[in-house]
Amino acid sequence: MSIKHRLREFKAGMEPSIKETKFMLGRIKQSPLSVFGIAIILFYIGIAILAPLLAPPTLKDPYMIPRERFYPTPQPPSEKHPFGTTEDQLDIFYGTIWGTRIAFWVGLWVVAASLAIGLVVGCIAGYYGGIIDELLMRFTDIIIAFPSLVLAIAIVAALGKSLDNVLLALVLVGWPGYTRLIRGEILKAKQDDYVEAAKAIGASDFRTLFRHIIPNTIYPVVIVASLDIGAIVLTAAALSFLGLGSPSGYADWGQLITISQNWIYGSSQNPWEYWYTFIIPGIFIFTFVLGWNLLGDAFRDILDPTLRRR
């Protein structure tokens, strides 16, 4: 069967979902909070794309924050440094702008990789069932239930401190969640009549999966993924904060906050002397995660079957 035919089949299977999507988007527009969430995310996408323009890189690795002249203490916001500088004269503005790219990088990569693994393993478990399913589910249950940060710390300790290893650790901690999700949907679909019918006609396993089951899993996955990105970025920031992520001087929000810890108290006359060192990066993290959480919440409310009304 030609690729064109397969594609056409896939599109046909997707059609009801596409109609649903249009309806959903309409509903989303009605909720002010979700619009706010989308606005935040679009704003950050803008910043991430425009990073080279907003904060032109001067070093070979654009993710290393450039250092200026040496001052012993962080410098307050000025024309040259709109957000001020932190320890060792790292430009906070540069760090937070390029940190946006890192945030998207981490969030999207972890979700994509976890989802990919989850799809494969979930399909195997769901479709073949039996003892394979049992064992896989026990195993994933334990990972899901185990405190994620603790596990991630252990993994990064084993692999070495770096942002890439943080990503890897988060993927290792995150894939079971998606596995369960996909497997659940497959089990549900297995009971559906059209899968039985397709099998009766003699459709191959792969085709059944592709055309019928996968399009139906898109919605739950979208909800979980969008809520998840927020949590992932928070955990990654926490790992960076603890010192297990990118090296010092890297444009990473968590990194910026960890080096600001020395400056939480200013002089006795002005305890908030160095507020910009930790407040500004923190606001970036907070609003970024808030945007995704609002979006995920909105998706969840909208896709809640009891609230759906045509």
Partner 1 sequence: MGLRSYIIRRFLLIIPTLIGVTLLIFFVIQLFTPEQRAMLYIRDPRQIADIDDIIRIYNLNAPLHIQYFIWMSELLSGNLGFSHTAHTTVVNALIQRFPATIELVMFAIPLTIVIGVYLGVISATHKDKIVDHITRSVSIIGWSLPSFWLGIVLIAIFFGGFGVFPPERLSISVQRYVTSTEFIRYTRINTIDGLLNGNLWVVLDALQHLVLPTVTLTAISIALIVRVMRSSMLEALNKGYITMARAKGLARKEVVNKHARRNALIPVVTLSGLLAASFLNGVVITETVFNINGVGRFGVNAALNFDIPAVLGFALFSGVLFIVANLLVDIAYAYIDPRIRLG
Residues 229-248 that bind partner 1 (CB under 8 A): 230, 234, 237-238, 241-244
Q: Which segment (12-20, 89-97, 106-114, 143-151) binds partner 1 by CB under 8 A?
A: 143-151
Residues near partner 1 (CB under 8 A), total: 48
How far apart CA 306 and CA 214 sit, in angstroms, is 23
Residue 135 within binding range of partner 1, rule CB under 8 A:
no
Residue 78 within binding range of partner 1, rule CB under 8 A:
no
Helix axes 253-260, 214-242, angle to 10 degrees: 20
Residue 271 within binding range of partner 1, rule CB under 8 A:
yes
CA distances (Å), origin 36, targets 82, 115, 226, 228, 288? 26, 27, 15, 18, 12
How far apart CA 109 and CA 106 sit, in angstroms, is 5
Residue 297 within binding range of partner 1, rule CB under 8 A:
yes
Residue 285 within binding range of partner 1, rule CB under 8 A:
yes
How far apart CA 14 and CA 159 sit, in angstroms, is 41
Residue 155 within binding range of partner 1, rule CB under 8 A:
yes
Taking residues 188 to 227 in sequence order and writing x for each that binds partner 1 by CB under 8 A, - otherwise, the string is ----------------------------------------
248 contacts: CB under 8 Å, gap ≥ 6: 88, 255, 259
Smaller CB separation from partner 1, 57 or 220: 220
Considering only 185, 278, 295, 299, the residue that binds partner 1 (CB under 8 A) is 278
**Burial class of residue 65 (count of CB atoms within 10 Å of its CB; 0-12, 13-18, 19+):** buried
The answer to whether 127 and 187 have CB atoms below 8 angstroms apart is no
The answer to whether 149 and 238 have CB atoms below 8 angstroms apart is yes
- Distance in Å, CB of 236 to partner 1, minimum: 10
- Distance in Å, CB of 171 to partner 1, minimum: 14
Helix axes 214-242, 163-191, angle to 10 degrees: 160
Residue 156 within binding range of partner 1, rule CB under 8 A:
yes
Considering only 124, 153, 203, 218, the residue that binds partner 1 (CB under 8 A) is 153
How far apart CA 106 and CA 167 sit, in angstroms, is 6
Q: Which residues bind partner 1 (CB under 8 A)?
A: 138-139, 141-143, 145-151, 153-159, 161, 230, 234, 237-238, 241-244, 254, 257, 260-261, 264-266, 271-272, 275, 278-279, 282, 285-286, 289-290, 293-294, 297
